[in-house]
Chain A
Amino acid sequence: MKCEALQQLISIPFPCIAVTKNYQIIASNELALKLLTITAELTENNALFDLFSPFDTNISIEGFIDNPQAPSHIYLSYKNKNTFNSIYKASISPLNNNYRLILLSLEENWQYKYQQESIYLSRLINSIESSNVGIWELDIAQQSAVFSAKFKELLQIESHDIYSWDMFKKAIFQDDLVLFEIFLKSHIQSKSPLNFEFRMEINKQTYWFNIKGETFYQNGEPKTIIGTLTDCTLNKEILNNLNDAIESKNITMKAGKIGTWCIRLINNEWHCEWDHFANEMFGLKTEDIGVLDKWVSIIHPEDREKMGNITRYSFSTGEDLSFKYRIILKDKSIKYFQSIGRAVSNDLGEVYRLDGICIDETEIQEAEKKLKKLNAQLEERVSERTAELIKAKEHAENASQIKSDFLSMMSHELRTPMNGVIGSLDLLTGTKQTPESKDLIDTAKTSAENLVFILNDILDINKIEAGKLELEERVFSISEVIDNVIKVFIPVAIKRDISLHVFEDPDTPMFITGDPMRVRQILFNLIGNALKFTSSSFKKLGEVSLVTTIKQKKNTSGIISLKIIDNGIGIDKKNQEKLFKPFIQAERSTTRQYGGTGLGLAICGKLTEMMGGKITLISEKGKGSSFDAELPFLKSQETIAMDIESLSNIKISIIDCNEKLTNKAKVFSHYLTYEGAHVNSYTLSEYVKSKDNFDILLILLNNNETNIQTILHLLKEIKDKSRITIAVNRKSIDTARKAFKNIRVSCSEPMTRIQLVQCMQHTWQSGFELNLDELDLSSLELDEDENNDVLGLDELDFDFDITEENNHKKSTQASILVVEDNPLNQKLIVKQLDRLGYKCELADDGLQGKIKWEEGNYQLILTDCHMPNIDGYEMTKQIRTLEKSQQKQATPIIAVTGAAMSGDAEYCIASGMNDFLSKPIQLSDLRAMLKKWYK
């Protein structure tokens, strides 16, 4: 039966298996075994459901055979692992009574495929999303769209927000939207790919996006468009920048007429390339680019070899190259080029290419040619003109020299007799004259002196203009110059009732290097002018101020500003500029009214200029003028060394009688501090409370009677009034002198820095001055005048004088030498020795003593120690030395000294003396000493 069944199976041309009614496999044909990739042994003795299981789990496999209700076929899943996902369609039909035939055919597993495809799709979407690509799908008919999460994220929209196709389009820039619609329409109609870039403004920032899409058709009609969206803002920016850079480079290269080139050495052959700019400049066709022969053919024949050599040299050495050459264009015109290149080496250090630029220098060359031509023409013209000018200058200089010489000679010649005139007038003023004559003589003298000043000015301006004036370089004190000038002008200011002020910068160095005479001349002219053009009236007090300021101060140099300010007639703008020209005054009427030559300011201007400074003027007609001469100065080691403090460590108290400390008190304090003084400034009320100690007291007094009384009261308590100075303005000076007798009173306005310091020095010194009246001993009547013998000298009948005669008489027997410079002591010791029975000889000092010792033969020397010429100590030393050298016996030498200091005796012994007596010598002591030493 089984064999029969097998026979039947073999004859069937489809894969099939024979089973019993109990699903036991009986046999399988070859095709079934091949389909199931299984051997016959494995199929036999197995139940069908050992190999297969129903694919649809809802179907019961047991009721499948011989069941009329059962379907005609079922799907079986094969259990073999290698073919796990294989599905077989099993159709059952009877083979015979015992066996059933199962026909197998392979079916595809759609569900599995679907699952796999879903996974693939999901991966694909994830990949797309992760690469920042948004996905969109548009239903063309409905105009409704679906957007991926990434799509929304790119447009900065929350994924759960509703977003429509219309909303998307509205967000596109208007200009771009028009184009987008056209592109989209064209894409749908022409089936061309959709690829479009557009802008959107998101959160006030412009973004660039790229949208791509593909249309899907259904029944020939466009159904949907599916596409992507990417953010290309960065790309766009890079692209824009790149375009800009390229465009900029191209413009620059074109504007600069610059082309690029490259030469490569391949197999010992040169391969050349150049860009289209260069090609255009060379006048070649586009197809000529890179054809070396073409390029060589247009190079000027004279330049070809040189160029070849330079290029070869650069290839062999690796050095940069630079050369100039000419190109002959088709129209035979010549262009000038310069090529600059750099050699590029490979890893082995071998040069394999040259890269560089070529610059069209034709215009430059042409311009140079023209310039050379023009230069030559100009030089020719300049030479001609210079010759003319030299001639004219020589003429002018000759004329000027003649004028200068004449003026100098005239001025000099006039000055000599004028000195005679002034001298004579001086002598005349000393003689007895009537008041009228005196007036006339004064006028004549003033006029003569003014004439000499004018002559001096003329000489100066001539010297300056002729370049003959040389500035001195010496150390001087600017403060002294100011003091000197101010002193000259004080009487003028008093006479004209003008208030003259001086404010000196306390930082002004005391000594500088420069020309003091010329600085004085500048100040003299400017202050003189200010006083001349200023006056006082009932309404306005005329004021002239000199203000000095240190504008720049370095270690070795500086700039000082000398500003002269007045409230005089002033000068209008028009006339200000010409003021510094010689012989020019502001207006002719000025000369008539005020006199003068107009030389002063010209001299000031020139001198300032020569010193390297400048002079400026600020003025308004009717309101006054301010001339500011800024002069540079030098400081040297010498000037710095001279800058010593003249009031070092002196304690000065300043009392300002005004309610508050005035600027004057502050400035004075600065000046004095600069000189090393310790200054304390007080108002009167402050000082009354403090009554501080001082070395010098400076009182700045005003005209207030109460203040005067307060100060008088205050001064009662001060014993040493010699250390007090009262400074007061000129008008109150007499009142102050009356009120404060025996106290120094000085004028405080104007008071220069020098005056103040000198005033303080004098006050300080006066504290040390000995009043000679107090020390005058002339009242001691010591003359032996018979009519005035106060001391009864007539009664003295002995001859007190130790005359030469007396001395000589005694000297014949003298064995003692007395060396003493004080006549009284001489007489005293002579008397004492006489009383003791000794004769002596006298010497007035050590020098005389030594000489007498050499000449005489003394048993003893009595010597003072402190004497002129040679003192007692030195004399002894010399005598001892002589005694040694002459091998003489030592003479005893006794010191007689008034010094009673301890150590004196030791010093006497050390000097070679034998003993010591104190002055005055007691007779008993002298006797003992003689006994001891006189042999």
Chain B
Amino acid sequence: MTENQLKIVNKNTMFELVGDDAELIKRFQIEFLQQAKQSITKLSSAYSESDFKLIKEEAHFLKTSAKAIGAEQTADYLQKLEDTSILNDKNKCKELIILINNSIKQVYGVIKNES
């Protein structure tokens, strides 16, 4: 799948995982956003300290949640951050963290609009 084809929130994903329980899906989405909020703070802190190992672990952690709720774009950025952190490329890491942050905002926007 190309970057452009990735969806901010792919509704089918959750549907395939837990069925058509809309409320349950929303709960999972909110749980993800709460997790993301904490993860961004942790990523920022790890970045300031140039702790690339921690960046990798946190990106991996959030990535599985993002995949679960179908936040494909966010999951993709998180995968990239995981890969970049191995290379200790701080500049690229910064760029990806900002992109992840923005994509989370977009996920929020999508969920908000559905409410």
Contacts and interface: CB of A to CB of B under 8 A. Distances in A.
Given A791-B112, A827-B31, A920-B67, A796 B90 contact: no
Interface string A306-343: 00000000000000000000000000000000000000
Given A831-B24, A920-B67, A770 B18 contact: no
A758 interface: no
Interface stretch (A101-109, A443-451, A669-677, A816-824): A816-824
Given A790-B112, A790-B115, A774 B17 contact: no
Most chain B C-beta atoms within 10 Å of own C-beta, residue among A780, A823, A923: A780
Contacts of B91: 767-768
A795 B23 contact: yes
Most chain B C-beta atoms within 10 Å of own C-beta, residue among A775, A782, A795: A775
A626 B92 CA distance: 52
Contact of A782 (B13, B18, B33, B48): B33
A764 to B, nearest CB: 11
Given A768-B91, A790-B112, A898 B67 contact: yes
A94 to B, nearest CB: 160
A837 to B, nearest CB: 14
A800 B37 contact: no
B28 A775 contact: no
A791 B101 contact: no
Contact of B115 (A777, A778, A791, A827): A791
A778 B101 CA distance: 12
Nearest to A798: B23
A920 B68 contact: yes
Contacts of B13: 920
Given A800-B31, A825-B68, A777 B36 contact: yes
A832 interface: yes
Contact of B16 (A795, A835, A899, A922): A922
Given A831-B18, A923-B17, A825 B65 contact: yes
B27 A775 contact: no
Contact of B33 (A780, A864, A866, A922): A780
A775 B44 contact: yes
Contact of A797 (B23, B34, B67, B115): B23
Interface string A695-736: 000000000000000000000000000000000000000000
Nearest to A784: B30
B101 A827 contact: no
A888 to B, nearest CB: 31
A780 to B, nearest CB: 5
Given A768-B94, A770-B48, A798-B27, A923 B16 contact: yes
Interface string A202-224: 00000000000000000000000
A899 B75 CA distance: 12
B98 interface: yes
Contacts of A835: 18-19
Contact of A774 (B33, B101, B104): B101
Interface in B35-76: 35-37, 40-41, 44, 47-48, 57, 60-61, 63-65, 67-69
A828 interface: yes
A789 to B, nearest CB: 8
B33 A768 contact: no
A828 B70 CA distance: 13
A832 to B, nearest CB: 7
Interface string B69-103: 10000000000000000000011001001100100
A795 B21 CA distance: 13
A919 interface: yes
A256 interface: no
Most chain A C-beta atoms within 10 Å of own C-beta, residue among B19, B60, B61: B61
Contacts, number: 114
Given A770-B48, A782-B33, A795-B23, A824 B97 contact: no
A770 B47 contact: yes
Given A770-B48, A790-B115, A798-B23, A825 B104 contact: no
B18 A824 contact: no
A921 interface: yes
* Chain A residues touching B, majority SS: loop
Contacts of A301: none
A783 to B, nearest CB: 10
A894 B105 CA distance: 35
Contacts of A866: 57, 60-61
B94 to A, nearest CB: 6
Nearest to B109: A780
Contacts of A898: 60, 63-64, 67
Nearest to B91: A768
A387 interface: no
A824 B14 CA distance: 12
A877 B56 CA distance: 24
A792 interface: yes
Contacts of A777: 36-37, 40, 101, 104-105, 108
Contacts of A790: 112, 115
A772 interface: yes
A792 B33 CA distance: 14
A793 interface: yes
A831 B68 CA distance: 13
A155 B16 CA distance: 135
A700 B94 CA distance: 29
Nearest to A918: B67
B6 interface: no
A225 to B, nearest CB: 117
B60 A920 contact: no
Contacts of B35: 822-824
B71 to A, nearest CB: 11
A829 to B, nearest CB: 10
Interface in A914-931: 919-923
B64 A827 contact: no
Interface in A890-920: 898-899, 919-920
Given A791-B115, A796-B23, A898-B64, A828 B28 contact: yes
A774 B104 CA distance: 12
Nearest to A770: B44
Contacts of B61: 821-822, 866
B34 A782 contact: yes
A770 B49 CA distance: 11
A637 B60 CA distance: 43
A796 B25 CA distance: 10
Nearest to B39: A777
Contacts of B108: 777, 780
Contact of B17 (A769, A772, A778, A922): A922
Contacts of A767: 91
B18 A828 contact: yes
A866 to B, nearest CB: 6
A782 B40 contact: no
Interface in A769-815: 769-770, 772, 774-775, 777-778, 780, 782, 790-793, 795-798, 800
Nearest to B56: A866
A775 B64 contact: no
A780 B105 contact: yes
26 contacts: A768-B91, A770-B48, A777-B101, A777-B105, A777-B108, A780-B33, A782-B33, A782-B34, A790-B115, A791-B111, A792-B115, A821-B61, A823-B31, A824-B28, A824-B31, A824-B32, A824-B64, A835-B19, A866-B57, A866-B60, A866-B61, A898-B63, A920-B13, A920-B17, A920-B68, A923-B17
Interface of A: 767-770, 772, 774-775, 777-778, 780, 782, 790-793, 795-798, 800, 821-825, 827-828, 831-832, 835, 864, 866, 898-899, 919-923
Query: Which 5 residue pairs are nearest across A and B when measured between Cβ atoms?
Result: A898-B64, A792-B115, A800-B27, A920-B68, A824-B65
Given A795-B23, A798-B23, A920-B17, 18 more contacts: A770-B47, A770-B94, A775-B44, A775-B97, A775-B98, A777-B40, A791-B115, A798-B27, A800-B24, A823-B35, A824-B28, A824-B35, A825-B65, A828-B28, A898-B64, A919-B68, A920-B64, A921-B17
